[in-house]
Structure 1
Amino acid sequence: MKLTRIAKLRLRVFRDFAWPTELHPFARFNVIYGWNGSGKTTLSWLLSLVEKKATLPEAEGEARLEFDGTTKVAGSAFASAHLPQVRVFNRDFINATLSQTSGIAPIYFLGEDSIEKQARVEQLKQELATIISKLKASEAGKTKAESTLDDFCKGRAKVIKELLTSANSQTYNNYDKRNFKRAVEAMDSQRAAGAVLSDDQKAQLHSQKNAQPKPLVGKVVAPSIELDALTSKVDTLVGRSVVAQTLDELTSNAKLAVWVQEGLHLHSGEHATDTCRFCQQPLQAARRAALEAHFNDAFAGFQKDLSELLSKLNKAKQSVASLSLPDDSRFYEALEHEVSTARAKVLSAKEETEAALDALIARVEAKRDQPFAPITTQEQATANPSSMTDSVAAFNEIVERHNRISQDFTASVNSACEKLEASYVAEAYAEFVRLTDAVKAAATELNVLTAKQAEIKAQIAELERAILDHRRGADELTAELRAYLGRDELRFEVKGTGYALTRGGQYVAHLSDGERTAIAFLYFLKSLQDRAFDLKNGIVVIDDPVSSLDDNALFSAFGYMKDRTKDAGQLFILTHSFSFFRLVKNWFHHLPGQRKKKIEDRPGRFFLLRTRRHTDGSRTSELGHLDPLLEEYESEYQYLFKRVHDEAQRNDVVELEHHYGLPNVARRLLEAFLAFKFPEIRGEGVLYKRLERVDFDGAKKTRILRLLDTYSHADAIPDPEHDLSLLAETQPVLREVLELMEAVDRDHYLGLIKMVAPSSVEEQGEP
């Protein structure tokens, strides 16, 4: 598939180009000659879109290419249309193919893919530097967070150690941050909340911790008092009635009755006598019988019952009175408050019981003294029968706790310490969690950065391996560069993933444009041999590959290019260098079939890019036939002379914009002519200096210099102060340029006339 025509082009300097009907199509080998600014870069860029399968944006312009004489593809369809393989060498390729690092010994990289990878490597290295910087900050942050947490644990452990160290236990003598961390890490928020103690609880536990071992305390034995039963007996006995023949005198006088009853007892039984032992008077039988009737057996039994009950009550009272409690000082300090409270309850119950017994005794004694007296209601002291037992039992529970502490004193101290430790740890739990979370967050950030660092390092290593895989041998590149430039001056050395260049053994820090172009062009020509590109069926486009090369290197470069592109399916060479154009032209002239009459049958074809300038300063480029002088003769100089001669002799009226390009043509012609005549004059203002050496009309020289200096710059737009009427004098000034050349070297001038306008010489009668 071959490119035959550029059917339509509206892009940059091509304002509205359409392929001229009289212009032959492209052939297999094509050379397009044009000065700088004539549109070569635009054409090569357009064809690079075909290479990249990239669409031409509508905002950029419009294009339509014709392939194989029939198929037309719009620029907007480049990305999707079936197109041939294309390889383009131009300034963009140079910039994309060759890059270098800065430094005394810069490293150069070849190939767009390698450069892209190396650029990515450099980008990753910058990212890596940023990551490393962040890593340092993150490590410092993690260290600070860990240090803060560590100081916190140390501080809390120190406080706990000072508070819990005791002569009674060695457990907390060596308490440190590790013990604290184990304790706090075993907690959760719920356990921490449950472990916190009040100040009173902590004070009590501290007392328990600091206490000294004390002897065992005996339990208190509660008196066995059946108060309810005694009360019931008292109620029963006091409520009994005694049947007897009572004597009023004894009934009404209880003391007398007691005295008489005791006397009767002393005069009966083993003490029986008929004489009163008090008055020694005889006891009258009637009196004895009356007294015995008063104090009969029932009364005696009743009295006995009262006496026995009274004895029980007194014994019970003595039993209660004998109840004693151990002193508070015998108990541990932690229990003193409880002991005091329990003691008060026991004593209160004792008092209540004693009061109740006293009340019962009083009732029995009253009945005893007045057995025949009627029952009277008396205020009775009440007592809870179980209060004594319960209060003593409560007191004994404290005794048991005291004894347990004494029996297992170390365990008790340790228990108090453990509860206190749990409380102090629980109080620090929230802050510990906060500081721990800060450490975890710092560690997470550090882990992420570390992983990112490893990932970037792996990417860099992978990219550098890929670059090394595509890197060619330094000796091979050096040999190719020598063959291309025709001199052994620059040498490649492998450096890292790229190359170092030396010139005369010294590292090259800066390459000239010509050297950069040469190295990139070498790489381009080498890439044509890639398996991915079918050279015999592909299109090769080369735009000015010999920029800034001297004549010796130019010939070598051309030979190298010719050898590498001769088998291309289609070749386009664009150049502004006439020397290079001449070499390409000679090559094409010797192609098989190039001498055929019809241009359409020739394998090599020549094209010229012309530029027209407009009064608004803009330019328009057009592609057309190559001028015969450029194709047939060996010098561009002859072509320039023909252009100036034709315009100077022109008789038709043309628009002013037609003259914009002519001052540049005239200047190049005059510079070449004067350089040949006065080669020793160099430096700035060389045109002016050389014109000064010419023996010619001074006014005409001034007009020539003025026009050429003002309007001969290809890309310049005239300054506002420039008089457009001066541009209108272009044709007369061109004639004066020809007059100057004839005046300086008539033979040379006539030789040129014979070449470009032989009829003019014959008319003048020159030989």
Structure 2
Amino acid sequence: MIKRIISINNVGSFREFDNGGSIQFEKLTFIYGLNTRGKSTLTDILTSLKDNDPSFITTRKSIPNVPSNQGVRISVRPHQSTNEVPCIFSNTSWTQVHSNDYLHIFGSDFIHKNLFTGLSIERQNKENFTRFILGQQGVQLATQIAEDKRVLRQKKSNLPNLLPLYLRGKQEQEYAPFLTTDPNSINIEDKRQQLSQLEQRLRQEQQRLQRPTEILSIEDFSQFIVPTNNIQDLTNQTNVLLESEFNEISSAAIAKLQEHIENNFEITENATQWIKEGLDTRKNDSNNCSFCGQSLENATDLLNAYHSYFNEAYREYISDIENKVENLRRQWGALNYNSLNLVIAKQALLLQYTQLINTEDFTALVTRLNELIDSANETGLNDLTSHYSQQVIQAFNIKERKPHEPVQSIDFTGLLESHVSYQSNLSAIAETIESIREAIQLFKEPYRDLSQIRTKISELQTEIEIKKRAIARVEQNDACVSYQAEQREITVIETRIIANEQALSANQNQYLDRFYTRIDYHFKQFGSQNFTLERGTDNRGHQPVYFLKVKFKNVEINDSNITKVFSESDKRALALSLFWARLDFLSPDEKQRAIIVLDDPVTSFDDNRILKSINRIKETLRSVSQIVVLTHYSHFIRNFLERAMNDDFPISFIEIAQNDSTSFLRRIESKTFTETTYERVVSKIYRFINRESEEDIRTYLRTFLESQYFPHFYIGKLIEFEQNGITCSNLSDKIDQIFSDKDVVRAKFHEFRTTLNGDNHIFTSSNEEDIRSFAREMMDYLYNFSHDV
């Protein structure tokens, strides 16, 4: 019997619960807990103990992370013992385990494991179902079968290690012809001589095949197309731009402007542009300078000279010059010679062809190509281009400062001559590459049809394999004998397993028929009268498995449709039927030791199924050691208690509570589930009055008076008023009507009513003694006043 759960640390919602030693479990123990409080966690802990499987706990570490290790300590009292012993989980394992063999646990995991996986029934469900219902039946044969299967698996696993070397890597259908060949019929020396001759012929044919195969797999050398680069136009446009000038400015304006610059500018380099910007920013009707604000009345001649110098034609000329400079500057910046990059990148490929095509003509072509690449001197040409580009940029800068004046043109002769030489080399490179491409294609052509060579090689390989097999059969005869002996032993074990399984099936038939009858009985007890449960057998796989064949009104339901026909209530009822049926077949001694754990056994049940479950639990309690029920349905516990009022078995009521840091267990009274709403509120009020609770009762007092006290004591009058059409919609009306002939009582109740209004001192005060004094006065009067006053 489980006596207490002493501590749980870092498991699910039980982050740090270590004071459960005083919370004792009894023969019947109810553990009540709302969802998310840790009910399923407790079930998993007990399942972990039952199966000695740490994963149920290790996969449920608390979130957020708890710095302490996981730990569980449960105290149990073994059968017919007066002392308690611990079951301890620490360091990711159960270090002490007691009574776990007698645990029988029902919950969602039981359903998913033995009946349904989600919305389907899978073979794994059937295998688990089979193991569950067989229990200890057929132990002797089952043990023999299990041992034989273990040995069989081991022998089959080791069999490939005994395989003769020749057969390793071969298809299984090749084993028998090799193993059954008589080694005495083979002349091994003749076979070796024949093998040597065949292998020599094969090498000759492969050499013929290897070279063409290598050549044909090499990629072709790419064609080279000479790029166009009109450097001549670029240099011409550059010099035309530099030599351009603007002649429409009068000599007088130029002289006036130049004189002003010389007399007033310390730095004359950008003086013209500065004056132009100043003229542009000056307003037409302004007589002051845009920059310094001085009067321009004495500078009329100078301004006229400015306007003559910077006229509209000049502005258009400047705009054209700027656009052309920008365009040409971009072209010079982008000028680059890199046409040979792709050719150079293919040098490794060319070297590969050179090693294969070792003719003088091909070697001469490759040498010629390399000489042309060196002669093209792309690097030197790019350096030269960069040098000229710098000259061009400097000239453009001068032109931009004085666009109306011509700038000395640049002599591009060196660049143009280098460009012509480069283009000539590219043309020669293109011609050479084309000759190389033709030579490669000509070289590959004879090797494109290799079918005859491949056919001959295939025939030789077949003949060689036959000779090797014959030689290996003689050389590896000992291995063949060992392998065949192991095969015969495997056959003997397989035959024995089949015979024992047939015997086991025969021995189990009667037991299984009784077991299925009990499942069907319990299912009908749960109200499923239209369903019939029968035994189904699946002989596929290594061993037969049993399952539930379901009929609805004598029509069989396919496995794939059972989850659609069954409601959630039906599924749980079926699972409970299986669980109770298994308990029916425990021996008397096993039942006396049995600890039954039921996790939400009546979820989704109607009243009839709940009643059936209660009766079944009560009946089972007489023969087992303990039943522990975990539930979040308080009405289930209340219903159970109402139907067990005359039973004398001890019951413990435990709640899974929760604070800011952890879930924990605490003892609660049975009245928590049996009290009416009226009784519960009265209890809260008196606990506050008697200083047993600090819970604020102000919100309960008026509700209690209006909605619970009057309906409890004066329900007859209230019904009579309603039948006579007398309005009692609020507390004031009820007081007036019920105490219409008792002035003193009516006045006292109205006094209570007004005191309980939300704006009264009693509701705005934070003084507990005021509230406690008023509550005591009201409750004393309610239960002690004379109705005759």
- TM-score, normalised to structure 1, is 0.39
Query: Normalization by structure 2: what TM-score?
Result: 0.38
